[in-house]
C-alpha cells in the first residue's frame, strides 16, 4: 500500500553540532502521528501510509542531521476528504454572504462622519447660520444678495432625494433583509448621502418581485411617471445652466468652500451622491433587463445629476416588464 501511494520527499538540511559516533547509526528517532477525523457521522482512522512522518536520520559521512518529510499527494484525496475540505473553506454551493463590501462601506462612512464633525473648516459659524436662514426664506429682504452658485447648489440638493427615490424604488429594495428603504430616502431629504450610506451598507440584492397592483398605487405610479422624470431633468438642467452662467461668482463660492462648514459639507454631499449614482443606474438597468439597449447611458450617468436624470427619462417603465401578479389579481383572471 505504501508503494502505491504517491509521496513527495522534501529534505531540509541544517548543520547542527553533533558528536560523531564511531558506530554509524542509521536511525535515531522516528515519530508517527495518528490522526482521527469524522465525516458524516462516521469515524475513520488513517493508515500509516497516510500520515506525515518526520524522520530524523543521522548521516555519519556528512556529520549533519538530515530531516526528511513525506507528504501525501493532494491529487489522491478521497471524495470524503474533498467534502471536508470544501466545508472547511466555505466552498459549498450556498456559501455565506461576503461582507467585504459592507465592511469597507462602513469604514468609509465612519471616516466620513468623523471628517464632517472634526476636520471640516469651521471659520464662519455665524455666517453659516445666516446663509441657512436666507436659503430657507426665514429672513426677509435685507439687501444682501446670495451667491448664485450657492443658491443653485442648494436647489439641486433638493432634487437629489427624488432621483434616488426613483432609482431605489422598487429595484433598489432588498429581498434578503427586512430593512425597508423608504426611511433612508426620507432622511436623505435632510442628510443626503450621509443618511443613504447606512442603507447601502445593509443592502442585499436581489429586489423582491413587484406585484401588478403596486404599479397603480402611490408611490410607484408617481416615481415611474415619465412626466415626473421629465420635470426633474428640466429643473436640474435649468439650475445647472444658471450656475454655469454666473462664472464670476465661482471664485467667491470657492472661498466659502474653504471657510464654511455648511458649504463644505454640502459640496461633499453633492460629490458623494454623484459618485454613487452610476452604480444605482446600473442596478436599475439590469433589474429592468435593459442593459443591452441602455448600456451607453452608463457613461452618461457619470455626469453629475444630469446623467442619472436623463436615464430616468429614457428607461422603460415597469409596466412593460414581466411582473408578478398578486393573489387577488390572479383569482380575478
- Residues 219, 282, single domain; the answer is yes
Phi-psi group of 303: left, alpha or beta (phi > 0 → left; psi -120 to 50 → alpha; rest → beta) = beta
Is there a domain that residue 245 lies in?
yes
- Residues 224, 293, single domain; the answer is yes
- Residues 157, 118, single domain; the answer is yes
- Residues 150, 262, single domain; the answer is yes
Cell numbers placing 134: 436666507
Banded pLDDT at 210 (limits 50, 70, 90): confident
- Residues 148, 270, single domain; the answer is yes
Closest C-alpha among 15, 228, 261, 268 to residue 124: 261
Q: What is the mean pLDDT of residues 181-186?
A: 95
- Residues 132, 41, single domain; the answer is no
Is there a domain that residue 135 lies in?
yes
Is there a domain that residue 200 lies in?
yes
- Residues 68, 104, single domain; the answer is no
Q: Cis link prior to 219 (omega < 30° from 0)?
A: yes
Distance CA 316, CA 165 (A): 16
- Residues 183, 247, single domain; the answer is yes
Structural domain for 223, as ranges = 100-313
- Residues 26, 127, single domain; the answer is no
- Radius of gyration for the chain, computed over Cα atoms and rounded to the nearest angstrom: 33
Banded pLDDT at 32 (limits 50, 70, 90): very low
- Residues 183, 63, single domain; the answer is no
Is there a domain that residue 318 lies in?
no
Helix, strand, coil shares of the chain as percentages rounded to 5? Answer: 55, 10, 35
Q: Indicate the number of domains in the chain.
A: 2
- Neighbouring-strand partners of residue 43: 38
pLDDT of residue 214: 79
- Residues 110, 66, single domain; the answer is no
- 53, 72, 91 — which closes off a domain? 72
Task: Assess contact for 250 and 149: CB atoms under 8 A.
Answer: yes
Closest C-alpha among 57, 86, 83, 89 to residue 70: 57
pLDDT above 80: residue 13: no
Is there a domain that residue 267 lies in?
yes
- pTM as predicted: 0.68
- Residues 182, 66, single domain; the answer is no
Q: Which of 23-37, 185-199, 232-246, 251-265 has the lowest mean pLDDT?
A: 23-37
Amino acid at each position: 500500500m505504501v508503494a502505491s501511494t504517491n509521496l513527495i520527499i522534501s529534505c531540509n538540511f541544517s548543520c547542527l553540532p553533533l558528536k560523531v559516533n564511531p558506530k554509524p547509526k542509521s536511525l535515531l528517532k522516528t515519530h508517527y502521528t495518528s490522526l482521527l477525523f469524522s465525516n458524516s457521522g462516521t469515524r475513520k482512522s488513517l493508515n500509516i501510509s497516510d500520515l506525515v512522518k518526520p524522520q530524523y536520520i543521522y548521516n555519519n559521512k556528512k556529520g549533519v542531521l538530515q530531516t526528511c518529510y513525506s507528504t501525501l499527494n493532494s491529487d489522491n484525496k478521497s471524495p470524503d476528504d474533498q467534502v471536508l475540505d470544501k466545508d472547511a473553506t466555505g466552498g459549498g454551493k450556498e456559501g455565506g454572504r461576503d461582507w467585504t463590501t459592507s465592511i469597507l462601506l462602513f469604514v468609509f462612512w465612519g471616516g466620513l462622519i468623523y471628517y464632517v464633525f472634526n476636520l471640516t473648516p469651521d471659520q464662519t459659524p455665524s455666517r453659516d447660520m445666516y446663509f441657512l436662514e436666507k436659503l430657507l426664506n426665514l429672513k426677509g429682504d435685507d439687501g444682501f444678495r446670495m451667491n448664485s452658485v450657492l443658491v443653485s447648489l442648494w436647489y439641486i440638493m433638493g432634487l437629489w432625494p427624488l432621483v434616488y427615490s426613483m432609482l431605489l424604488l422598487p429595484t433598489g429594495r432588498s429581498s434578503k433583509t427586512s430593512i425597508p428603504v423608504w426611511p433612508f430616502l426620507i432622511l436623505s431629504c435632510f442628510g443626503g448621502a450621509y443618511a443613504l450610506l447606512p442603507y447601502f451598507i445593509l443592502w442585499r440584492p436581489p429586489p423582491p418581485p413587484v406585484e401588478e397592483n403596486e404599479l397603480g398605487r402611490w408611490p410607484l405610479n408617481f416615481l415611474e411617471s415619465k412626466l415626473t422624470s421629465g420635470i426633474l431633468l428640466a429643473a436640474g438642467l435649468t439650475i445647472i445652466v444658471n450656475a454655469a452662467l454666473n462664472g464670476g461668482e465661482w471664485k467667491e463660492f470657492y472661498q466659502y468652500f474653504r471657510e464654511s462648514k455648511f458649504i463644505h459639507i454640502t459640496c461633499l454631499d453633492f460629490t458623494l451622491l454623484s459618485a454613487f449614482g452610476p452604480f444605482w443606474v446600473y442596478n436599475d438597468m439590469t433589474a429592468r433587463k435593459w442593459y443591452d439597449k441602455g448600456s451607453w447611458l452608463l457613461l452618461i450617468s457619470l455626469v453629475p445629476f444630469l446623467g442619472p436624470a436623463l436615464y430616468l427619462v429614457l428607461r422603460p417603465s415597469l409596466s412593460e416588464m414581466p411582473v408578478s401578479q398578486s393573489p387577488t389579481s390572479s383569482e380575478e383572471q
